[in-house]
């Protein structure tokens, strides 16, 4: 069965390579009994992939049960999943089978698995390791043959660090990871989805299909879509119902889209939930860039003052820029001399109106390479902690595993 066949069978729309990669992984893992963890932001369509895995597996004639772990109260989730005996707690008037017993021989989909309480996580781990569970209020061990597919929009390694998720359970669930891209990473699919939703709502409400002009289509494709496919569907439905005209302009569409940060503002940080990146790492780089921009602005302002006064620095300029000048001098003194990379060097000494001469400095244009900055930060952290990677990783705000990978990737000598 081809990927196109899978799309048609399960109503998946889009041609993004990232989406097709996720589908391909689901098809490859379906015939096995391996546990699967589906990662993706809310609204990306994670609920479709457990159905693909179940329908293409040898368990397709067995039960398929989808459970939203975040919607079940903490006090009753053990009973819901594993069942209970009569009288085991107030209100337990009769024995009840849990989802793992009912789904024996089939597949159970645990959505929002990161919302599961720690005590329940321990019970789930036992099921994954041995297929055994115990009903609430019972001492009898029961067996079940269930394939578990889980999904989450939470970055679980961070939840593990906060003590909210068991690390051993994560590795059991994450035997095969599937990452669903957010809508902003598959922009070529946005208009395809819009047209499908518009046609569906036109049929549902018995009205003509809405259409976008060129400017509105451009606006649609370049919106951030924080709520992903779910948000796009809701916007399409609102426009279909509320607007009397069927020709939608950019001005009309803009009324249904939440405001986004202005150009140059702080756009939301996109965090890929895989081994290649984590949110702490991204935030670290974001902070570096923000600080670099502030420093560059200070230097540009100081340079402008110098140009306007032919290199002479007034006491007011010295006072207003003392911190910037002192920082530049300190950094330059720490670095080796020369300009091997061909960057700009300024040899003109700073002077004041009172013929006071500041120390001669050579100002090199700082590299704006993210990789160079990251390598520099890693080296400084390793030096500070005398090569102890565990503490260096904590200093950088990244996992020790990520630090190992980056040391190897950049060839950093400790």
pLDDT means per 10 residues, the chain with 414 residues, are 93 95 96 96 95 96 96 93 91 92 97 96 96 94 97 94 95 95 95 96 95 96 95 96 95 89 44 42 54 63 63 58 62 51 44 46 51 82 84 80 81 78
Beta-bridge partner residues of 149: 36, 109
Does the domain at 184-254 match CATH 3.40.50.1820? Answer given as no
Q: Where in the chain is the domain with CATH 3.40.50.300?
A: 3-181
Least Cα distance to 49 among 179, 141, 167 occurs for: 179
Q: Where in the chain is the domain with CATH 1.10.10?
A: 369-410
Exposure string for 68-104, b = 16+ CB within 10 A, e = fewer: ebeebeeeebbbbbbbbbeebeeeeeeebebbbbebb
pLDDT value of residue 310: 59
Residue 37 per-residue DSSP state? E
**CA angle in degrees (0–180, nearest 5) for 121-126-131:** 130
pLDDT value of residue 406: 82
pLDDT value of residue 374: 80
CA distance 186 to 152: 20
User: Do the Cβ atoms of 111 and 10 come closer than 8 Å?
Assistant: no
Q: Where in the chain is the domain with CATH 1.10.8.60?
A: 184-254
pLDDT value of residue 306: 63
pLDDT value of residue 372: 76
pLDDT value of residue 259: 76
CATH class of 3-181: alpha beta
Q: What is the pTM of this model?
A: 0.63
Does the domain at 369-410 match CATH 1.10.3470? Answer given as no
């Amino acid at each position: 069965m081809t990927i196109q066949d899978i799309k048609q069978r399960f109503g998946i729309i889009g041609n993004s390579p990232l989406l097709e990669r996720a589908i391909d992984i689901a098809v490859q893992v379906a015939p096995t009994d391996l546990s699967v963890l589906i990662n993706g932001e809310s609204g990306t369509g994670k609920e479709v992939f457990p159905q693909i895995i179940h329908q293409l597996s040898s368990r397709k004639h067995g039960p398929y049960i989808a459970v939203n772990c975040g919607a079940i109260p903490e006090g009753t989730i053990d009973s819901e999943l594993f069942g209970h005996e009569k009288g085991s707690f107030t209100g337990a008037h009769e024995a009840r089978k849990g989802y793992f017993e009912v789904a024996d021989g089939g597949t159970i989909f645990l959505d929002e698995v990161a919302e599961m309480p720690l005590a329940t996580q321990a019970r789930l781990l036992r099921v994954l390791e041995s297929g055994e569970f115990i009903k609430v209020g019972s001492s009898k061990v029961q067996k079940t043959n269930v394939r578990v597919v889980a999904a989450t929009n939470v970055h679980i390694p961070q939840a593990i660090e906060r003590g909210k998720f068991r690390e051993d359970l994560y590795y059991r669930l994450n035997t095969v990871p599937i990452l669903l891209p957010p809508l902003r990473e598959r922009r070529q699919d946005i208009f395809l989805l819009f047209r499908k939703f518009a046609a569906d709502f036109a049929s549902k409400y018995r009205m003509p299909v809405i259409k976008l002009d060129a400017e509105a289509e451009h606006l649609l494709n370049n919106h951030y879509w924080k709520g992903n496919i779910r948000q796009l569907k809701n916007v399409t439905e609102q426009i279909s119902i509320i607007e009397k005209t069927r020709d939608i302009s950019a001005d009309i569409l803009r009324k249904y889209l939440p405001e986004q940060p202005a150009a140059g503002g702080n756009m939301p940080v996109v965090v890929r939930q895989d081994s290649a990146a984590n949110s702490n790492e991204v935030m670290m780089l974001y902070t570096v860039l923000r600080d670099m921009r502030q420093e560059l602005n200070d230097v540009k302002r100081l340079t402008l003052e110098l140009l306007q006064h032919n290199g002479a620095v007034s006491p007011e300029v010295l006072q207003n820029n003392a911190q910037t000048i002192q920082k530049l001098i300190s950094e330059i003194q720490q670095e080796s001399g020369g300009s091997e990379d061909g960057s700009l060097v300024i040899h003109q000494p700073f002077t004041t109106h009172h013929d006071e001469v500041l120390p001669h400095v050579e100002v090199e244009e700082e590299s704006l390479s993210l990789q160079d900055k990251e390598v520099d930060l890693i080296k400084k952290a390793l030096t500070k902690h005398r090569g102890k990677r565990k503490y260096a990783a904590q200093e950088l705000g990244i996992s020790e595993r990520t630090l190992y990978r980056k040391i190897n990737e950049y060839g950093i000598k400790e």
